[in-house]
A and B are shown apart, each in its own frame.
Chain A
Amino acid sequence: MSALTKAQVEAVAALANLELEPAEIELFARQLGDVLTHVEELKQVDTTGIAPTTSTSSPGGAATQGVEREDEVRPSLAIADVLANAPEREKARDGGFFKVPRIIG
């Protein structure tokens, strides 16, 4: 694979919620193309019937089986502490909330 097209880079950027500068689109088109060309080497490997490894936690490579605990109430972080890092927040009687631009018109 050679460089990605500008349209491909823009489509991926939209999926990734990134608003790239024109210079970045051009740069990434080439650099992502370089990496994707390199990984083409994996086509040489016969993987017929080979299970994918999603986790090394188990011998077979599948993700860990469900980890469970009793469903009991435990202390969690105070709302004020959680909101302390918020770019915008609103105080309210039940502790307050994160504030973002209006979603529903």
Chain B
Amino acid sequence: MSAPATISDLRKMSAVETCHAALDRILATASLNAFNTIDGDRALERAADIDRNRARYASAPLAGVPVAVKDNICTRGLKTTASSRILEHFIPPYDATVIERLHAAGAVVIGKTNCDEFAMGSSNENSAFGPAKNPWAVDRIPGGSSGGSAVAVAARMTPLAFGSDTGGSIRQPAAMCGVVGLKPTYGRVSRYGLLAFGSSLDQIGPFAHTVRDAAITLGVIAGADPADATSAPQKVDDYEAALTGDVKGLRVGVPSRMLAEGVDPEISRALLTALDTLRARGATVVDIDLPHAKYAISVYYLVATAEASSNLARYDGARYGLRSADADLGAMYMKSREAGFGAEVKRRIMLGTYVLSAGYYDAYYLKAQQVRTLIRRDYDQAFEAVDVVAMPTSPIPPFKIGEKVADPLQMYLADIFTVSANLAGLPAISVPCGFSSGCLPIGLQLTGRPFDERTLLQAADAYERDTEWWKQQPPIAG
């Protein structure tokens, strides 16, 4: 067992050597299918520039750190496909705001990672370019939708990666691959340049080996952006300074009624052990009730698909992306979309279009938004008595590739613990908290108050200090 290199280790090293090592590792683990596109030459040029100008990058928090970026975040001059045929050859003319901020911080973008098509899925099986594979068991899913980013960090290709989280798409693959995954508060990070899926839910966040690395990275990408009207004006805190290890008096809420059924017994046991670890550091564990959380899946799949059906209307073959030629404009739109979108994307566009259509709007969409208010109020109430909420990230361990493809509803139901943070706009993090008897990673999810990433990261870091799960190396990375 050897601990993975962290940001503070890598900042001391030659950027070019680090970049070469990352590129070699990506090649050696290519069978995991974590990357859609590798940008080796430009990454090496950029690393050389950093090495030549070390003085200029002396205080850059990510100087020379190679990063992998989910393929639904725009990178200027570098293909951004959303793992979809419809954008297979799309090269953005601009960088997402997070990419600009990463460049300013000295990070080296090394490539674009595989994901479920347009971030729609929980297994990475909906990629038009084949699924990424879990480095702990290559016949199993890595989770999704940001599967490739989780795999890149878990298999030690890059120490940092980025994903988007609409209903758990950072936290769930982080849990299933045994790494840290952070979804910041809605509005904390600019989404300018993120291909929109569910605009009231989407948020960008990092994957890392340690909570400290996630905290440093959040400090780089957080903050208001004039290009995204939903980015929040709230002050960006010094997240690394919050990692004191002190959780004396911290109140950890556990919605035990919600966890009573449907959770894999090994995952339940791992959660209880994690709570004991926090207690031993001086935290108190409090039982809470989130009475409407059980409706979160229904609310989520109505709200997210409605927003998606509207957002994905732009892919019509007119201005960019795949076009199926036809002499008639309407037929050109329909044929292009039919040829360009995969099954899950079409299924969600159909569901979203249905629930927004005349006669059904009130019964489905409006009703879902009202229950969303109740879910949010449950959390507001809980946070009067506790500082963070603890749950498993996923109720099930990573399953075998292909096992659940035929039954989308069963796949949706497994998102039960992650979607409510998006519906309520709350920050949440998944940290490794154990392994199943089959040696599959298990994740602990902590959820915090809006814009209180400090407390969330402080709690997660304190927990991590008393565990060594994050140091474990998957067999493929050996």
Task: Name the contact of A85 in the complex, choosing from B313, B321, B337, B425 (C-beta under 8 A).
Answer: B321
Q: Are A101 and B328 in contact (CB under 8 A)?
A: yes
Q: Are A85 and B334 in contact (CB under 8 A)?
A: no
Task: Judge if B349 is at the interface, Cβ distance under 8 Å.
Answer: yes
Q: Are A16 and B369 in contact (CB under 8 A)?
A: no
Q: Which residues of A does B touch, CB under 8 Å?
A: 4, 8-9, 12-13, 15-21, 24, 27-28, 31-32, 34-36, 38-39, 41-43, 45, 47, 50-57, 61, 64, 67, 69, 77-78, 81-82, 84-88, 98, 100-103
Given contacts A16-B309, A53-B376, A85-B91, contact A31 B408 (CB under 8 A): yes
Q: Give the residues from 157 to 194 in chain B that come closer than 8 angstroms, CB to CB, to chain A.
A: 186-187
Task: Name the contact of B298 in the complex, choosing from A39, A47, A53, A98 (C-beta under 8 A).
Answer: A39
Q: Chain B contacts of A47 at CB under 8 A?
A: 367, 370-371, 374
Would you list 29 pairs from A and B whose C-beta atoms are within 8 A, ordered by A residue? A4-B354, A8-B354, A15-B353, A16-B309, A16-B353, A17-B334, A17-B337, A18-B338, A19-B334, A19-B335, A24-B346, A34-B408, A34-B409, A39-B301, A39-B302, A41-B298, A47-B367, A53-B370, A54-B369, A56-B423, A77-B93, A81-B93, A82-B93, A84-B93, A86-B320, A87-B323, A100-B332, A101-B327, A103-B329
Q: Chain B contacts of A16 at CB under 8 A?
A: 309, 337, 349-350, 353
Q: Are A18 and B318 in contact (CB under 8 A)?
A: no
Nearest B-chain residue to A51, judged by Cβ? B373
Q: Are B334 and A53 in contact (CB under 8 A)?
A: no
Given contacts A12-B357, A55-B200, A86-B319, contact A42 B371 (CB under 8 A): yes
Q: Are A45 and B371 in contact (CB under 8 A)?
A: yes
Interface residues contributed by chain B, number (CB under 8 Å): 69
Q: Chain B contacts of A13 at CB under 8 A?
A: 350
Q: Are B366 and A52 in contact (CB under 8 A)?
A: yes
Task: Judge if B229 is at the interface, Cβ distance under 8 Å.
Answer: yes
Given contacts A16-B353, A100-B329, 5 further A-B contacts (CB under 8 A): A9-B350, A39-B302, A45-B374, A50-B374, A56-B186
Q: For the complex formed, measure the closest distance between the CB of A28 and the CB atoms of chain B, giving whole angstroms.
A: 6
Task: Name the contact of B425 in the complex, choosing from A36, A41, A56, A84 (C-beta under 8 A).
Answer: A56
Q: Are B350 and A41 in contact (CB under 8 A)?
A: no
Q: Chain A contacts of B368 at CB under 8 A?
A: 39, 42
